[in-house]
Amino acid sequence: MTSHKIEWDDTVLPFQLDRSHIRGRVVRLDGALGNVLMQHDYPPVIEALVAEAALLTALIGQSIKLRWKLSLQVRGNGPARLIATDYYGPSEDGEPARIRAYASYDAERLDHDATPFSQIGTGYLAVMIDQGQDMTPYQGFTPIAGNSLSDCAETYFAQSEQLPTRFSLTFGKSQTPGGPANWRGGGVMLQHMPGIGGQVAAEAGSGEGGLLTHADILAGEEAEDWTRANALLETVEEIELVGPSVTPTELLIRLFHEEEPRVFEETHVHFGCSCSPDKVRQAMSIYSQKDIKTMTTAEGVVTADCQFCGAHYQFDPTTLGFEAKDA
């Protein structure tokens, strides 16, 4: 996808508010978000969910280590059955991270006039971290709650990590005079640093359904700092979040100059898929040759498509299935 590239597009900038013991990140996704969405012809309500999930994943994933993978999944009983994203940490220092996403939905049940979040229904949000070979993946879950995926992510951090967290996101298509319309998204994440507030029992939550909120975790001066930083974030304008004319650093100074913001090295984010013929073969290794025969087309091949990037693979069925490997 081609667009008018801006220096700070497709970046995540981490920062810290030294006065408030709060850390955060500013995300700007332009080409990366456009490339995620162009892989499929989603209806607008699904595009909105995928775009929000991609922004959240970029913000959350920026903290993982090199070569780690962070996945976010939203599953519900509504017409938007699944929103899945992956964030791959840079393979080396200075290299970009990669992000991909896709959605599974029931087109006949979609209400195109309803809010995108309402199409999820009842379900859960899952955050998974793969630390590499021989390491047990981390998994955390939280019920679908609030009015947006951002609300769900905030609940996840409060409930699973006991870290007060706030997201402010916006996204959509923008167009320069005479140019094509391109996807652009941006946002800010605030998170109270661990070890400051007191720990509470899970059943003490005062939020929806007994879930934890920042009020259950912070007290005294820490609670005041959190309230002040959130009030400042609420003054942000959508055009500042997507940032075609405001750099991330300028945004932080505008919002939080009294909180003494300090920025760190940014991470670049590109669209990227990890699928390959070898990985598809490995995924099919759980099937017997008898099962493989049922997947074989009339032309005598087995086909597979990547749900994330749409790559199409064809295989000779005699090379698949665990019985063939034992021969």
The tokens for 249 are 């650093």
- Among the residue ranges 84-93, 224-233, 274-283, the one predicted with the least confidence is 274-283
Q: How confident is the model at residue 245 (pLDDT cuts 50, 70, 90)?
A: confident
Q: Output the average pLDDT for the chain.
A: 89
Q: What is the mean pLDDT of residues 291-308?
A: 86
High-pLDDT (> 90) share of the chain, %: 62
Q: What was the pLDDT predicted at 3?
A: 45
CA distance 239 to 171: 10
CB 23 within 8 A of CB 60: no
- Among the residue ranges 24-28, 192-196, 213-217, 293-297, the one predicted with the least confidence is 192-196
Say if residue 40's pLDDT is above 70: yes
CA distance 285 to 18: 52
Q: Where do the DSSP E strands lie in the chain?
A: 11-17, 22-29, 69-76, 80-88, 97-105, 123-130, 138-143, 165-175, 181-192, 261-263, 267-271, 302-305, 312-315
CA distance 246 to 10: 14
Alpha-carbon distances of 48 from 36, 45, 115, 119, 244, rounded to whole Å? 12, 5, 9, 11, 20
The tokens for 320 are 């698949």
Length of the chain measured in residues:
327
At 252-276, the pLDDT tens digits run 999 999 999 999 999 999 999 888 8
Q: What was the pLDDT predicted at 2?
A: 41
| DSSP codes, 6-48 | -TTTTEEEEEEETTTTEEEEEEEESHHHHHHHTTS---HHHHH
Domain boundaries, the chain: 11-271, 277-326
Say if residue 202's pLDDT is above 70: no
Q: How confident is the model at residue 305 (pLDDT cuts 50, 70, 90)?
A: confident
CA distance 275 to 270: 15
Q: How confident is the model at residue 79 (pLDDT cuts 50, 70, 90)?
A: very high
Q: What was the pLDDT predicted at 240?
A: 94
- Among the residue ranges 44-58, 211-225, 244-258, the one predicted with the least confidence is 211-225
Q: What is the mean pLDDT of residues 103-128?
A: 97
Domain 277-326: what homologous superfamily? Answer: HSP33 redox switch-like (3.90.1280.10)
- Among the residue ranges 13-22, 80-89, 172-181, 218-227, the one predicted with the least confidence is 172-181
In this structure, which CATH number among 3.90.650.10, 3.55.30.10, 3.40.1710.10, 3.30.390.30 belongs to the domain 11-271?
3.55.30.10
Q: What is the mean pLDDT of residues 179-184?
A: 83
Say if residue 15's pLDDT is above 80: yes
Say if residue 323's pLDDT is above 70: no
Q: What was the pLDDT predicted at 115?
A: 97
Instruction: Burial-class residue 186 by CB neighbours within 10 Å (0-12, 13-18, 19+).
Output: buried
Q: What was the pLDDT predicted at 147?
A: 96
Say if residue 197's pLDDT is above 50: no
Q: What was the pLDDT predicted at 325?
A: 43
pTM of the model: 0.87
CA distance 324 to 288: 8
Q: What is the mean pLDDT of residues 50-79?
A: 96
Q: What was the pLDDT predicted at 77?
A: 97
Number of neighbours of residue 306 by Cβ within 10 angstroms: 18
- Among the residue ranges 37-41, 68-72, 323-327, the one predicted with the least confidence is 323-327
Amino acid at 326: D
